[in-house]
């Protein structure tokens, strides 16, 4: 538990040496329950506690069942406009240094539901191979097209690819980082909730100091934030609806462990996706601007 006197939001002095910041305690995190197309997603997360200087509202999960119909991503964010998304949950937490050294970092957790804008009758995301292709297509559609001025990709992903084998569906956990400028580091969990729809957790964390990433890590330890992410991910549980469970049981006849690839190298970005949202294609700066004109 954070000591609110020792780890205050007030800053009166500079911290010397490596700072181990303190944020929310996972031991007191409450269960969050989300109803999704008849299935139930559960996980634990601390209360919303952003920095006092941030006016970031919490998004609480609805008690109603989500249909996950979603809305199309803005063209500026996703040029292909090939995926739709539903916002489900958002919380953010601040991390502070000891004895009035102030804010040292932030961590946010967002959960969304996604599906391709164009329905593909042949794709079944409960199948590990189709699911993996969908995940790689989605992250390429979102971030694979973003460049630095010199034409190099802004992001690198997936990093530290890790299959999650304790859920009743194929699932994966991995990271994404900026290739040059040290900014937010991101971790993601993806898992299918039906043949057509996927849930994803997005975690973004940042140390409040200057320097390259290695220099930041020497000033402020990222471990407390990384540990909270791992604890939330480890608490994820999924109970499938009878209909979805029947589909999964059929898939297990040919793929008993529902396993995705054991590893996955970072994708060759920049790149786009086709309008199906899944097929990764060569990058073209004017590809979708010309198509929409």
Contact 69, 86 (CB under 8 A): yes
Check residue 167 and give its pLDDT. 97
Which of helix, strand or coil describes residue 72? strand
Domain boundaries, the chain: 26-292
Which of helix, strand or coil describes residue 128? helix
At 137, phi and psi to the nearest 5?
-65, -40
Residue 255 predicted with pLDDT over 80: yes
Residue percentage of the chain with pLDDT more than 70: 94
- Residues 171-191: pLDDT tens digits? 999 999 998 877 889 999 999
The H-or-E segment that residue 250 falls in is helix 242-252
Residue 156 predicted with pLDDT over 80: yes
Closest CA to 138 of 203, 68, 192, 60: 192
Per-residue confidence band for 285, with pLDDT thresholds at 50, 70 and 90? confident
Pick from 226-240, 248-262, 274-288: least confident = 274-288
Largest CA distance in the chain: 63
Contact 126, 245 (CB under 8 A): no
- Residues 228-253: pLDDT tens digits? 999 999 999 999 999 999 999 999 99
Mean pLDDT of 196-219: 91
Residue 293 predicted with pLDDT over 60: no
Check residue 7 and give its pLDDT. 64
Residue 8 and residue 210: Cα distance in Å, rounded?
21
Per-residue confidence band for 98, with pLDDT thresholds at 50, 70 and 90? confident
Interstrand relation of 155-163 and 103-116 (parallel, antiparallel or unpaired): unpaired
């Amino acid at each position: 538990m954070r000591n609110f006197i020792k780890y205050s939001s007030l800053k009166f002095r500079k911290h010397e040496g490596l700072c181990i910041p303190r944020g929310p305690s996972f031991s007191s995190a409450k269960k969050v329950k989300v109803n999704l197309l008849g299935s139930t997603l559960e996980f634990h997360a601390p209360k919303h506690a952003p920095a006092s200087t941030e006016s970031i509202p919490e998004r609480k999960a609805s008690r109603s069942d989500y249909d996950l119909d979603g809305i199309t991503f803005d063209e500026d964010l996703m040029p292909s406009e090939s995926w739709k998304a539903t916002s489900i949950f958002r919380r953010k937490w601040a991390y502070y240094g000891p004895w009035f050294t102030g804010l040292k970092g932030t961590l946010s957790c967002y959960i969304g539901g996604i599906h391709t804008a164009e329905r593909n009758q042949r794709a079944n995301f409960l199948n590990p191979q189709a699911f993996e292709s969908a995940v790689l297509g989605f992250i390429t559609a979102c971030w694979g097209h973003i460049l630095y001025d010199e034409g190099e990709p802004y992001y690198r992903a997936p990093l530290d690819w890790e299959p999650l084998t304790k859920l009743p569906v194929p699932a994966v956990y991995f990271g994404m980082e900026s290739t040059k400028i040290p900014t937010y580091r991101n971790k993601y969990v993806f898992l299918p909730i039906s043949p057509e729809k996927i849930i994803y957790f997005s975690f973004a964390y940042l140390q409040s100091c200057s320097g390259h990433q290695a220099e930041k890590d020497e000033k402020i330890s990222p471990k407390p934030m990384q540990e909270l992410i791992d604890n939330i991910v480890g608490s994820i549980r999924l109970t499938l609806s009878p209909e979805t469970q029947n589909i999964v049981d059929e898939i297990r006849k040919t793929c008993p462990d529902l396993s995705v690839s054991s590893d996955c190298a970072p994708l060759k970005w920049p790149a786009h996706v086709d309008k199906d949202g899944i097929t990764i294609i060569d990058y073209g700066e004017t590809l979708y601007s010309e198509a929409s004109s």
